[in-house]
Chain A
């Protein structure tokens, strides 16, 4: 029995953000708000507009509202989270705010018990907002600063997991800084170290969501173009070998005292033939939301595939649970693995600390099935638990050196 667990909590759902995946975050955010347990939680939608400013307002709950951007921002009220420990909520810095829990005027605080973070990509998933949350001493869902920033850098993430016995594909990082100094040697460095043997390779941005700036390169000319494409969006590129015969396996993990795994899925392309390009070189939205959204998704998902060898499923789930521990993940995450059909090897590919739609489509098909509402409630409770654990650490400042 936890303290105050019977009281209704106010959940501030933060979505939007300054990343290229802004739109998807809005969809995820609105979806989850609709699914939250209204008996236990009051919801305040907090929208981070593309300009980086934070807003509240009842209108945010309507999907049609976002069509009026950026002009419609004038109808909302600007707020901010102050990076001080006595921020019990967000502070209103615009005109008076009409929120679902009442009306607030400038400089007042809208009390919020816990924040549900629903971003994708830069500035949301990568540790920045988490840092602000820590300074504000707030309870929030999802991993902390370290976990988030490691997950967002594909190279560092793979290195850490590799050190803990989780198999990954070899990879080489090429930094834009080096390319600007000398493009040719940056190019040569790809094969110099020996980790990569030969073409074809797959080039991706080190950061950002995996939908933009990715390309396969079969020769040096294509490698140059691929690197230039990445450097349009990111400061470093990661180059990996291209697996010609493989399929992907994803699994979602709900982090609790004992991490819980969902069923696995195999994202399948429309033609039935699985390839990197079909999956990756499509708009990212279909991968994130996991449903046919606006006709963009030709991707269908084979959720809980019956024909898949259970041993493979076990290995994947095993690695995922281990990775959750190693990287200190929290909340609902999704791991993407690759299965090389030629060698029977499984490779960790990517971790999504805040997956699209929080992979609810996997949870509803799990054994036992977990409805979205349930999954979200558990993530919220976990967030409050972690805050409580952290608050139990004694951290007192004593003035000894300065007091003399």
Chain B
């Protein structure tokens, strides 16, 4: 009888504990496109194995082992179960907390249920052994095995469900492709190491106002499956134009998206060295991104960033009937569209843009050179599609800054420049330029540094920090990933140590910031790493 009770307590408590843990691992999985291999790699790299549950259970096991009376053993089991459940409830629920929350989509739910079932089966199976042997300590000990198996069972669940998921995805893909063919909007593809989402949103807005009904996925959707879903849900017969963002995750990514949405026009914003570790070499990145240029027909439109040497090379290699190079630097080579006479003020930026030999005055609420570069890209495409340049510029003046991309939040006392979404060396430098130009008493930088730069990561972070030393009165470094590199950069400019604050995670940093910020401060929040990369993981 008491063996049964012990079994029941062990089983239930373990399941409750695992349910929360499973969700946490699932979040990691979801952030990396449900790639089970990478999730397991992350777990091993960060030693994200369970410690707390195991510790609690080990205590219970030992206590049970040495317990002589059945009633004592039972009480120990009760206490153990209670402890485990309390532990589970005390952990944050990944569905509601954390910067990137676990989104229980249909697919996530299927995976969760499958994995949970496996965990339950395992727990039941091994727990039964203990029950059958009437050995309380064993009943609890095997549950340690169960808890430690959660990541692997999750990976297994993903793999088991994969064929079904793949079939489902394929069906969705076919439906979406057929819909696109039926509606036949004029499609413009956008790719580039950075600025994709910004240019997409801008171009979408401009075409909508100055040309006709335009479809564009509002968030940073740029994968085949992401675009498939949005097209199935939101593309309407009335849409004349479609602006599609295409992310180059590996060779072939963009080619596949172009099969779904064959582009008539393309914009390449940059072929830098973001995500270098995924591709291996800059040449590979070039080939992957130029799949878009390749997909555009001969009589189509190609718009490339002339300031980026690789993008310029793409424009030369893949000449179309209309090929346009935009940029700031006319010394690097010929430019069809350029901007000069740039003036910054707290309301935004005024400038002069040149198109087909004429100069047009313009103004935008956005700040920073990358924003102007994006504006040139969108403007070029809109005008190439025969929108009236004056009309386009009028629409540009109304463009609102997007959250988290060097957007400005002004309160009575402080100004916050929020540049949290994805950072790269150029964006970081531009943000620091804006921070410098902004009127204010004290300049504060909060950043974890940049990631996914492969071998160049250390150098790039040091360079950025070095520049920050010239601009900032206070620097707050978040996390450990780039801490050394950033500190090194600050040291290069002999930045005083008392102006550097170091934090293990974002929440800590922001709390401290809230306490020490003063009236007149201008604060730059630069980049925000997804949870996957925050090393201080309490497991």
Interface, chain A (partner B; CB < 8 A): 179-180, 182-184, 221, 224-225, 227-229, 231-232
Residues of A near B209 (CB, < 8 A) are 228, 231-232
Q: Is A232 within 8 A of B395, CB to CB?
A: yes
Q: Is B397 an interface residue (CB 8 A)?
A: yes
Bin chain B's interface residue count. 10 to 19
Min Cβ gap B103→A in Å is 12
B391 engages A232 (CB within 8 Å):
no
Q: Is the CB of B388 within 8 A of A228?
A: no
- Hey, which chain A residues are within 8 Å of B388, CB to CB? 180, 182-184
Known contacts A228-B209, A232-B209; A184 and B397 CB within 8 A of each other: no
Could you list 13 examples of A-B contacts with CB < 8 Å? A179-B391, A180-B210, A221-B361, A221-B363, A224-B391, A224-B393, A228-B394, A228-B395, A228-B397, A228-B398, A232-B209, A232-B395, A232-B398
Residues of A near B395 (CB, < 8 A) are 228, 231-232
B208 CB within 8 Å of chain A: yes
Q: Is the interface of B mostly helix, strand, loop or mixed?
A: helix
Cα separation A184 to B208 with both chains bound (whole Å): 19
Mask of B337-371 contacts with A, CB within 8 angstroms, 1/0: 00000000000000000000000010100000000
Q: Give bound CA distance, A180 to B208, whole Å.
A: 11
Q: Is the CB of A229 within 8 A of B211?
A: no
User: Quick one: CB contact mask for B175-219 with A, threshold 8 Å, 1 for yes?
Assistant: 000000000000000000000000000000100111100000000
B394 interface neighbour in A180, A182, A225, Cβ under 8 Å: A225
List the B side residues contacting A227 at CB < 8 Å.
394
B281 at the interface (CB under 8 A from A): no
Q: How far is B394's CA from A180's CA once the two chains are assembled, in angstroms? A: 13
B397: contacting residue among A183, A225, A231, CB under 8 A: A225
From B391, which residue of chain A is reached at the shortest CB distance? A183
Interface presence of B390 (CB below 8 A): yes
Chain B residues proximal to chain A, CB less than 8 Å: 205, 208-211, 361, 363, 388, 390-391, 393-395, 397-398
**Contacting residues, chain B, for A184 (C-beta < 8 A):** 388, 390
Pair B208/A183 contact, Cβ less than 8 Å = no
Interface pair B211/A232, CB less than 8 Å apart: no
In the complex, what's the smallest C-beta–C-beta distance from B212 to chain A, in angstroms? 8
In the bound assembly, the distance between CA atoms of A179 and B398 in angstroms comes to: 17
**How many contacts A-B (CB < 8 Å)?**
40
On whether the beta carbons of A224 and B208 are closer than 8 Å, the reply is: no
Give chain B nearest CB distance to A49 CB in angstroms. 15
Extra 12 A-B pairs, beta carbons < 8 Å, given A180-B391, A228-B210 = A180-B210, A180-B211, A180-B388, A184-B388, A221-B363, A221-B397, A224-B394, A225-B397, A228-B209, A228-B394, A228-B398, A231-B210
Measured CB to CB, the nearest residue on chain A to B395 is A228
Q: How far is the CA of A184 from the CA of B397 in the complex (A)?
A: 17
Max count, chain A CB within 10 A of own CB: residue among B205, B361, B393, B394? B394
A182 to B388, CA, bound (A): 8
Within the complex, the shortest CB–CB distance from B313 to chain A, in Å, comes to 35
Q: In the complex, what distance in Å separates the CA atom of A232 from the CA atom of B209?
A: 5
Residues of B within 8 A of A180 (CB): 210-211, 388, 391
**Chain A residue nearest to B211 in the complex (CB):** A180
A383 CA to B397 CA, complexed, in Å: 47
Residues in B with CB closer than 8 Å to A229 are: 398
CB pair B390 A183 closer than 8 Å: yes
- What residues on B are CB-neighbors of A179 within 8 Å? 391
Q: Check A232 against B205 for contact (C-beta < 8 Å).
A: yes
Residues in A whose Cβ lies below 8 Å from that of B398: 225, 228-229, 232
CA distance A232 to B394 in the complex (A): 11
Residue of B nearest to A187 (CB): B390
- Tell me whether B390 and A224 are in contact (CB under 8 A): yes
Chain B hits for A232, CB < 8 A:
205, 208-209, 395, 398
Complex: A290 Cα to B215 Cα, angstroms: 36
B458, chain A: closest CB distance, angstroms: 45
Q: Which residues of chain A have C-beta atoms less than 8 A from B211's C-beta?
A: 180
Minimum C-beta distance from A219 to chain B (A): 12
B393: chain A residues within 8 A (beta carbon): 224
How far apart are A50's CB and chain B's nearest CB, in angstroms? 13
B453 to chain A, nearest CB (A): 38
Query: What's the least CB distance linking B388 to chain A, in Å?
Result: 4
Report the minimal beta-carbon distance from A144 to chain B, rounded to whole angstroms: 29
A179 and B210 alpha carbons, distance in the complex (Å):
8
Minimum C-beta distance from B108 to chain A (A): 15
Q: How far is the CA of A227 from the CA of B394 in the complex (A)?
A: 8
Chain A residues within an 8 Å CB radius of B394: 183, 224-225, 227-228
The complex places the Cα of A179 from the Cα of B391 at a distance, in Å, of 8
User: Which chain B positions have C-beta within 8 A of A183?
Assistant: 388, 390-391, 394
Please indicate the chain A residues that have their CB under 8 angstroms from the CB of B391 in the complex: 179-180, 183, 224, 228
Query: Which residues of B lie under 8 Å from residue A225 when comparing CB positions?
Result: 394, 397-398
Which of B205, B361, B388, B391 is most buried by chain A, counting CB atoms within 10 A of its CB? Answer: B391
Interchain nearest-CB distance for A73 vs B (Å) = 15
Question: Closest approach, in angstroms, between the C-beta of A60 and any C-beta of chain B?
Answer: 24
What is the minimal beta-carbon distance from B14 to any residue of chain A, in angstroms?
Answer: 32
Chain B nearest CB: distance from A105 CB in Å? Answer: 29
Could you say which residues of chain B place their CB within 8 Å of the CB of A221?
361, 363, 397
Tell me the complex Cα distance, A58–B395, Å: 44
A298 to chain B, nearest CB (A): 14
Q: Closest A-chain residue to B397, C-beta based?
A: A225
